[in-house]
Chains A and B, each alone.
Chain A
Amino acid sequence: MPRSGWDPTEDSEQGTLTATASSRIKRDLMTIFTDPPPGLFVVGDELNLKIIHAIIVGVMDTPYEGGFFYFVLKCPNDYPIRPPKVKLMTTDAGNVRFNPNIYSSGKVCLSILGTWNGPAWSPAQQLSSLLLSIQSLLNEKPYFNEPGLVQEQIPGDSKRYNEFIQHETLRVSVCGMMENQCRLSIPEQLKDIMGKTFLEFYDQYVEIAKNNMHLDGTEMIDPFNKGRHLCHYKNLLLRLEKIRAKVMGKTWNFFKEPSCTNVDLKERQTNEEAKCSSTIAS
């Protein structure tokens, strides 16, 4: 069934959630709070029960290791009859395509979201299963996510792609996210998780930067996106050290100014629903 647009921040659906939808969203969130899948963090929006904020932390032994991938989801009024809309906000303001299936616009190509071919959404799925499907896109060889690419076009493509992703993960989804370069309005609870997770992964970050220092000055090529980037591990190492000092000294905080890339909450839910979601979130 054709759906108008994939972008939750551009979604124009007005009106209120059905009773089933708001009850289902709360249950879906509660499932994640009580039994959190590794590397997956969610919080309901304070003002709008339809909006979910999620961070997927890149899994160990993948080029996404330790990266913070911030997603915004918007559930339709008849959830779970239709799937939520999903957008990756961690794209260096639309400049980095982190995966063959996740565009620099933030669009996530996944059959259950109706943005790709294959098994469609089913109401038996829930927020955790959806987010786990997205997490599985961020795997150890993302090059081969591209449909039809069972073989490298040029030998070494997959390895070079991993080098590119690894660098951009450190640059954009670790340093950029911790410095909040793109001024995203990330909920406080998720920021706390980022601070803690950053310290846990810190030694790995440093190791990645040191192991790849010899690549500095060379050009990285993204086969799925135009544009060339230079490796800058030395600079990333300095940024990591500064961020660590701030997190340890508890002086780490984000810009408080309103963000331009913020979710445009086109409509607000009633106070009653807002209260429900903040109770669940706390």
Chain B
Amino acid sequence: MKVTIKNWVGVATWRWVANDDNCGICRMPFDGCCPDCKLPGDDCPLVWGQCSHCFHMHCIVKWLQSQQVNQQCPMCRQEWKFNNK
């Protein structure tokens, strides 16, 4: 079978917040805590996924909890798995 694409209309634009220095969810720098941690001294650890994307643990956990069916990385949409090195 031969498929010919006659027309293609792109209707989406992606622009990721992707950044090595900032959390892709709260957009705050990794050297500080997430905005839900009131004090800079609070324990706000960073976590990595197997896809190598990094987030504040507080931020990624809130996202994963909101996703009942498939839990994907916010940046690359791969299935999220904690990278427990």
Residues of A within 8 A of B (CB): 1, 18-20, 22-24, 27-28, 78, 80-82, 101, 111-112, 118-119, 122-126, 128-129, 132-133, 135-137, 139, 141, 144-145, 150-151
Chain B residues whose C-beta falls within 8 Å of the C-beta of A136 in the assembled complex: 10-13
Residues of B within 8 A of A (CB): 6-7, 9-18, 24-28, 34-36, 38, 59, 62-63, 66-68, 72, 74-75, 77
Q: Which of B7, B11, B15 has the most CB of A within 10 A?
A: B11
Q: CB within 8 A of B15: which of A19, A129, A144?
A: A129
A205→B11 CA distance, assembly (Å): 26
Chain A residues whose C-beta falls within 8 Å of the C-beta of B10 in the assembled complex: 136
Contact at A124–B74, with CB atoms within 8 Å?
A: yes
Task: Give the shortest distance, in Å, between A128 (CB) and chain B (any CB).
Answer: 7
A81→B16 CA distance, assembly (Å): 15
Q: A27-B27, A132-B15 are in contact. Are A123 and B63 (CB under 8 A)?
A: yes
29 residue pairs from A and B, CB less than 8 Å apart = A1-B68, A18-B35, A20-B26, A20-B35, A20-B62, A23-B26, A24-B27, A27-B27, A81-B66, A118-B12, A119-B12, A119-B77, A122-B75, A122-B77, A123-B25, A123-B59, A124-B18, A125-B14, A125-B17, A129-B16, A132-B15, A133-B11, A133-B12, A136-B12, A136-B13, A139-B9, A145-B9, A145-B11, A150-B7
Chain A residues whose C-beta falls within 8 Å of the C-beta of B6 in the assembled complex: 150-151
Chain A residues whose C-beta falls within 8 Å of the C-beta of B66 in the assembled complex: 1, 78, 81-82
Chain B residues whose C-beta falls within 8 Å of the C-beta of A124 in the assembled complex: 16-18, 24-25, 74-75
Chain B residues whose C-beta falls within 8 Å of the C-beta of A24 in the assembled complex: 26-27, 35
Q: Which of B15, B34, B59 has the most CB of A within 10 A?
A: B15
Contact at B34–A20, with CB atoms within 8 Å?
A: yes
A20→B33 CA distance, assembly (Å): 11
Chain A residues whose C-beta falls within 8 Å of the C-beta of B14 in the assembled complex: 125, 129
Q: Which of A22, A82, A136 has the most CB of B within 10 A?
A: A136
A111→B77 CA distance, assembly (Å): 15
A135→B12 CA distance, assembly (Å): 9
Chain B residues whose C-beta falls within 8 Å of the C-beta of A81 in the assembled complex: 62-63, 66
A78→B61 CA distance, assembly (Å): 13
15 additional contacts, CB 8 Å, given A20-B26, A20-B59, A123-B25? A18-B35, A20-B34, A23-B28, A82-B66, A112-B12, A118-B12, A119-B77, A124-B16, A124-B17, A124-B24, A124-B74, A129-B15, A133-B12, A139-B11, A141-B9
A229→B18 CA distance, assembly (Å): 46
Q: Which of B13, B63, B72 has the most CB of A within 10 A?
A: B13
Contact at B25–A80, with CB atoms within 8 Å?
A: yes
A22→B34 CA distance, assembly (Å): 12
Chain B residues whose C-beta falls within 8 Å of the C-beta of A126 in the assembled complex: 15, 17, 27
Contact at A132–B13, with CB atoms within 8 Å?
A: yes
Task: Give the shortest distance, in Å, between A130 (CB) and chain B (any CB).
Answer: 9
Which residue on A lies nearest to B22, using beta carbons?
A: A27
Q: A18-B36, A81-B62, A132-B15 are in contact. Are A123 and B9 (CB under 8 A)?
A: no
Q: Which of A20, A112, A119, A141 has the most CB of B within 10 A?
A: A20
Chain A residues whose C-beta falls within 8 Å of the C-beta of B75 in the assembled complex: 122, 124
A11→B66 CA distance, assembly (Å): 20
Contact at B74–A123, with CB atoms within 8 Å?
A: yes
